[in-house]
Amino acid sequence: MTAINRLKLLGYAADAWRASHGGPAAVAARQRARLAELVRFARGRSPLYRERYRHLPAEIDLRALPPVTKRELMADFDRWGTDPAVTRAGVEAFLADERLVGRQYLGRYVAWTSSGISGERGVFVQDADAVALYGALTLVRGLVAWMTPRRLWGMLRLGDRVANVVATGGHYVSASMMEVARRNRPWPFDRVRVFSAMRPLPALVQELNEFQPAELIGYPTALTLLAGEQLAGRLAIRPALVGYGGEWLAPAARRRIIAAFGGPVRENYGASECARFAWGCLRGGLHVSADWAILEPVDEAYRPVPAGEASYTVLLTNLANRVQPLIRYDLGDSVTLLPGGCACGSPLPRVRVEGRRDEIVYLETPSGEVVPLLPLALASVVEEAAGVQRYQVVQTGPRTLRVRLETTAEADGEQVWAAVTHRLGEYLDAHGLPMVRVERGAEALARHPLSGKFRQVWAELGGGSPA
Ligand SMILES: [Zn+2]
């Protein structure tokens, strides 16, 4: 991080602290000013927004602006951005090179991919200001806010080592942000290491035992598996802080994680579209950084959903990133805005996020041993194959995975399938699962029967599944 960006980060951190302590009016004033500036900028520099907003008056209300979807933005990528040098072809070439994870695209941007809850691949470019801001919010709302004297002592005693268990091998926001954080975090919060959720569990356990993290961050499914290892005595770490994000944390899994590592556990909510914009508080609330992001819970017709009710989807406006403005962007998550204030006293709005509900799948080795596979790891093995548009991985038997695939318009379906089976084969071999059969599901991708949401990885072993 350059000295200028480090100064920016500290400036944003000071402003975030003042906003958090300034009450609702201080937050609202920042949101209003930043939104007006963002809309003005997008109208001036983004051909896509200029066209969409051409019939709207100069001074507009947020709710009067037409929402945008991932599919629309991806289809019109080159006209969406505010820097003509940013092109879909250029970003894809950058992303195709795994050695460039955490490096800068065009020497000034970061680029992230994600499939999100919709299951559709998206590509997002963020500018240096936005990245500095995400770092500042992490510092002020994710770290300093959590530092009781006891926890601070616990962190420093363990050399403030931060372990992040994430999907690796692609330009995912968590791994990429950690690469950035590893270089950027100011002392004494700079000992960050990424641990691959793609590794077999015994190897991951050994690496964590050697590292002895003060802070353990991961997806709920990864933390659940690690909690089991800790309770069984194979994992022996004493993190002062455990944090999660990216998936829904089931109450039973939360209890298990607390039993293994102590509590409370910190939640964060973010996406490739807007990293880490909501942080959990010590009273169990999840607070949206409303000074930098606007979340509007809405129904299927994009009408506002009242507080206390779970939304169908949520519209995100990212007030920080200028290179690809996101204004009323359909994020796909079900979010509930919680009425009333939080016991912690924060003026930031409190939400509950449904989150991804993918499942750990348990497969059998030739000798009958059971090996757990993390959904985020399986998902990234499949979605990083070139030409994959959407997919689902369903465990249909103790040694069978069924993959449903949608490929991009340009791709050759057979080639994509060959790439997916090759990648999965390598991954399964590495986990001692060479007997697992990967079959192609010809049926269409399905939504979850209860939530209506799209899921990517789960087990369907009931009824007539093969023995
Ligand atoms: Zn709170």
CA distance 176 to 340: 35
Q: Are residues 350 and 401 in the same domain?
A: no
338 Cα to the center of ligand 1, angstroms: 11
Distance of CA 16 to the CA centre of its chain: 21
Question: Are 13 and 80 contained in the same domain?
Answer: yes
Cα distances (angstroms) measured from residue 343 to each of 73, 107, 243, 284, 354: 39, 44, 20, 9, 22
* Residues 349 and 287 sit within 8 Å (Cβ to Cβ): yes
pLDDT digits 0-9 by tens, 366-382: 999 999 999 988 988 99
Please, which residues bridge with residue 268 across strands? Answer: 245, 279
State the total domains in the chain: 2
**What percent of the chain is predicted at pLDDT more than 90?**
64
* Dist. CA 264 → ligand 1 center (Å): 13
Query: Does residue 161 sit in the same domain as residue 279?
Result: yes
- CATH classification of the domain holding 87: 3.40.50.12780
pLDDT tens for 275-297 read 889 999 999 999 999 999 999 99
Do 331 and 402 fall within a single domain? no
Give residue 319 CA to ligand 1 midpoint distance, Å.
22
Residue 286 alpha carbon to ligand 1 centre in Å: 7
Residue at 29 is within a domain: yes
DSSP 80-144: HSSSTT--HHHHHHHHT-GGGTTS-BTTTEEEEEE-TTTT--EEEEEEHHHHHHHHHHIIIIIIG
CA of 292 to the centre of ligand 1 (A): 17
pLDDT at position 26, please?
Answer: 97
Cα torsion at 172, 144, 127, 347 (round to 10°)? 110
Distance 268 CA to ligand 1 centre (A): 13
In angstroms, what is the span from residue 156 Cα to ligand 1's centroid? 25
Task: Report CA(350)–ligand 1 centroid distance (Å).
Answer: 7
Same domain, 242 and 301: yes
- How far separated are the first and last CA of the chain, in Å rounded? 54
Cβ atoms of 142 and 84 closer than 8 Å: no
| 172-186, 190-204, 309-323, range with the lowest pLDDT | 172-186
**How far is the CA of 124 from the CAs of 39, 289, 322, in angstroms?**
19, 20, 12
Considering 331, 356, 381, which residue would you say is the last residue of a domain?
A: 356
Contact, 215 vs 162, CB < 8 A?
yes
Question: How far is ligand 1, taken at its centre, from the CA of residue 349, in Å?
Answer: 9
Question: Minimal CA–CA distance to 447: which of 301, 309, 300, 316?
Answer: 300
Domain that includes residue 244, residue range: 1-356
80 lies in the same domain as 222: yes
Ligand 1 centroid to Cα of residue 348, in Å, is 8
Are 191 and 59 contained in the same domain?
yes
Q: How far is the CA of 279 from the centre of ligand 1 (A)?
A: 9
Count, in order, helices (H) and strands (E) of the chain: 14, 20
**pLDDT digits over 151-194, tens only?**
888 888 888 888 989 877 655 555 555 666 556 555 555 588 88
Asked whether residue 329 falls in the same domain as residue 375, the answer is no
Confidence of residue 357 (pLDDT cuts 50, 70, 90): confident
Determine the pLDDT at residue 185. 53
**Distance (Å, rounded) from C-alpha 418 to C-alpha 405?**
12
How many angstroms separate the alpha carbon of residue 304 from the centre of ligand 1?
A: 23
Contacts for 38 with CB less than 8 Å, ≥ 6 apart: 317, 319, 322, 325, 327
Final residue belonging to a domain, choices 356, 390, 416:
356
Amino acid identity, position 348: L
Question: At residue 275, what are phi and psi to the nearest 5 degrees?
Answer: -70, 135
